[in-house]
Structure 1
Amino acid sequence: MSRADLADRASELRRTRTPFVHATVVRAAHPTSAHAGDAALIHADGSIEGFVGGTCAEASVRAQALGVLLSGEPLLLRIRPDAATTPDEPGAVTVTNPCLSGGTLEIFLEPHRPAPRVVVVGSTPVARALAALGGPLGLHVELTDGDSTRPDPEDAALIVASHGRAEEPALEAALRAGVPYVGLVASRTRGSAVLAGLDVSEADRSRVHSPAGLDLGARTAGEIALSILAEMVTERAATVPTPVGVEPLTALDPVCGMTVGVSDSTLQAAYGGHTVHFCCEHCRTAFVAEPARFAG
């Protein structure tokens, strides 16, 4: 895959809000098959597009990239064939990969996670102001009508700013989906009437912010939108963030002793009712030939 193709693929993943890690070789000390500038994309399922080294290097990259995708923090990965002599430091980790051909690699892992999605129901001035202000805050704001609203548990918020149009269905859908922030733009009196008509539990009903937004004395559409986003930020800051995906599984290659990330892309073999994982085909072949030697 050429660099241009890889860049196009990365753009496509960002457009479809698909999380991935961009890995770039920043230093290669030969002998090694990778060169500075080589790059790859690592997906949440552990699959890799592109090239940052052979199967041995890929195993180390996969294991670290899955952790990077979970944390959202970039990482400089140093891969050495012998015992690491460089101490780990913030933002960098050194791993020993005895299967390498003898060279060393330094690979920068950059996570790309979709911006938190905020669904705004309505086309009112407040709705448009929310869309305009959300982008600079790192939010992906989608304007929709109530009938086509499809909230997701991973959404950051759903805000109804439709002034009476399709309010109840959108609010009920967001509450049932478990969206963390649900807001209704309405006066206190009308908001109470809307909430009373929702077909949800009292616990869910109490989760709706109505009137939505902090009491900043807002009057204009922009000021109201600002107060709502400020309330959202306050709520999110008080909540323990939910990581993207699940904690990556790792396993020990019984042949070389290397830690590998466990995914559908990881080489494996069955032995004694268990699945054994490997960093490369060489280790897998050695194990299959003499499983008792390595399984103990």
Structure 2
Amino acid sequence: MKMTERAQQLVRTRTPFVHATVVRAQQPTSAHAGDEAILLQDGTIEGFVGGQCAQNSVRKAALGALQSNESVLLRVLPDGDLQFPEAPGAAVVVNPCLSGGALEIFLEPQVPAPLVRICGATPIADALAELCALVGFDVQRGIGGSDSPDSLTDTTAVVIASHGGPEAETIRAALDSGVGYVGLVASKIRGASILDELGLTEAEQMRVRTPVGLPIGAKTSAEIAVSIVAEVIQAIRKGGLAVPVRLSSVAFEALDPVCGMTVVVGPDTPHLTIDDIDYWFCGSGCRTSFAEAKTGS
């Protein structure tokens, strides 16, 4: 599968990843400018951006880029020559495991957009779906009566614009799943009545907006949609509303017992199990040295 096709597949499944591209390679590195790879949360590297020693540095920087959701230009050096432009988004890593050469790799995180689930088949719901897509949100219509709370775990916001139907049940399902923003399109009186029926805790009440949307005097369906989207954006950018994603297994760090380097453990990280103890290494050289020391051969 081509790298672009794989990236599109991960975007469709809302799987976080980092796209890594070698922008400059100094011999004798095995990578070349233009080489690229996709790095997943569990440390998997699909593609090629350098040998095993370079991969450890790239893997660690990629996981950091995923956490910050900021791109970074990474320079991997084999020694202490730290000549590199001082600039935001640039970083230097000295990797003594490298046999020589240097690499510059651009790491671009791809984190899923906020997912807004819209319940209802009304003009407001239709306008809201269009506007959410316009600002870059992912949109799904409805949550379905058979959906379990677990099916909403990657949802940023649920907006109910059905003007009737199972509104209370939908609010309850969204709250039980941990959705941080639940909006109900209703008058102040009707909305308060529905919430009273649910017997919400104070913390749950703070997650439900009704009337929903910023108070901009909206009247039309499109204007109401604008007020709702603006409120969701405000909650994300200023209110700390989380944009959850479905997590795969996440890579962890270990200490190479030979060279002392911190290793981000992935599926292809050199590894030994001796006397039921697991050891991970920056490269095959350290693994071989450790095995010889342990076995005396």
On whether the aligned pair clears a TM of 0.5, the verdict is yes
Aligned counterparts of 2:196 and 2:186: Cα–Cα separation in 1: 14
Which letter does structure 2 place at the counterpart of 1:36? A
Q: 1:19-48: per-residue Cα shift (whole Å, max 9, x none)?
A: 100000000111111100000000011001
The answer as to whether partners of 1:39 and 1:52 remain within 8 angstroms in 2 is yes
When residues 79 and 203 of structure 1 are mapped into structure 2, their CA distance, relative to the original with a 3 A threshold, is closer
Query: Aligned match of 2:124 in 123, 126, 129?
Result: 126
Q: Secondary structure of the residue that 1:197 maps to in structure 2?
A: helix
2:226 partner SS: helix
- Corresponding residue for residue 268 of structure 1: 271
Residue 145 of structure 2: SS of its match in structure 1? helix
Indicate the residue corresponding to 1:232 in structure 2. Answer: 232
Kindly tell me: are residues 149 and 163 of structure 1, through their superposed partners in 2, closer, same or farther at Cα, counting changes over 3 Å? farther
Q: Deviations over 1:101-153 (max 9, x none)?
A: 31111111110011010111112111111111112322112112542556524
1:9 shift after superposition: 0.8
2:49 to 48, 52, 68: 52
What letter matches 2:287 in structure 1? Answer: R
CA distance in 2, matches of 1:206, 1:64: 37
Using the alignment, how far apart are the partners of 1:125 and 1:43 within structure 2? 40
Q: What is the letter of the counterpart of residue 46 of structure 1?
A: G
What is the distance in 2 between the residues matched to 1:209 and 1:141? Answer: 19
RMSD: 2.5
Structure 2: distance between partners of 1:114 and 1:63: 20
Could you tell which deviates more after superposition, 130-139 or 104-113?
130-139
Tell me, in whole angstroms, the C-alpha distance in 1 between the residues paired with 2:111 and 2:66.
Answer: 7
**Structure 2 CA distance for aligned equivalents of residues 91 and 206 of structure 1:** 37
* 1:253 pairs with one of 237, 241, 256: 256
1:59 and 1:214 map into 2 onto residues whose CA distance is 47
- CA distance in structure 2 between the aligned counterparts of 1:105 and 1:203, rounded to whole angstroms: 50
Give distance in 1, aligned partners of 2:89 and 2:215: 40
User: Quick check: 2:113–2:138 contact (8 Å CA) kept in 1?
Assistant: yes
Contact 1:146 1:166 in 2 (8 A): no
Q: What amino acid is the match of 2:180?
A: P
Q: Which amino acid aligns with 1:65?
A: A
Could you say which residue in structure 1 is the equivalent of 2:142? 144
Structure 1 window deviating more from structure 2 (206-215 vs 9-18): it is 206-215
8 A Cα contact 1:146 1:167, kept in partner: no
Structure 2: segments with no counterpart, 5+ residues: none
Q: 2:100 aligns to what? A: 102
Answer whether contact 1:75 1:93 (CA < 8 A) is retained. yes
Classify the secondary structure of the residue corresponding to 2:79.
coil
Which segment drifts farther, 86-95 or 144-153?
144-153
Say whether the 8 Å CA contact 2:265–2:280 is kept in structure 1: yes
Residue 162 (1) aligns with residue 162 (2): yes
Is 2:41–2:250's contact at 8 Å kept on the other side of the alignment?
A: no
Quick check: 274-283 or 233-242, which moved more?
233-242
Separation in 2, partners of 1:253, 1:226: 53
Question: What does 1:58-69 correspond to in 2, within 5 Å?
Answer: 58-69=55-66
In 1, Cα distance between the equivalents of 2:51 and 2:203?
54
Tell me which amino acid in the other structure corresponds to 2:158. L
1:172 and 1:199 in contact (8 A); partners too: no
Distance 1:281 1:73, change over 3 A: same
State the identity %: 50
Q: What is the TM-score with the length of structure 2 in the denominator?
A: 0.88
Aligned CA distance change for structure 1 residues 94 and 230 (closer, same or farther; 3 Å):
same
Structure 1 unaligned regions, length at least 5? none
Is contact 1:13-1:19 (8 Å) kept? Answer: yes
Count of aligned pairs: 290
- Is structure 2 residue 293 aligned with structure 1 residue 290? yes
Q: Is residue 77 of structure 2 the alignment partner of residue 80 of structure 1? A: yes
Distance in structure 1 (CA, Å) of the matches to 2:143 and 2:97: 56
Question: Matches of 2:154 and 2:83 in 1, distance apart?
Answer: 39
Aligned match of 1:279 in 279, 282, 293? 282
Structure 1 equivalent of residue 114 of structure 2: 116
**Structure-1-length-normalised TM-score:** 0.88
The letter for the 1-side match of 2:129 is: A
Change (3 A) 1:206 1:107: closer
Provide the residue aligned with 1:187 in structure 2: 187
Please give the alpha-carbon distance, in whole angstroms, between the structure 2 residues aligned to 1:283 and 1:242: 41
Q: Output the CA distance in 2 between the equivalents of 1:220 and 1:130.
A: 12
- The whole-number CA distance in structure 2 between the counterparts of 1:264 and 1:28 is 25
Q: Distance in 2 between matches of 1:158 and 1:265?
A: 39
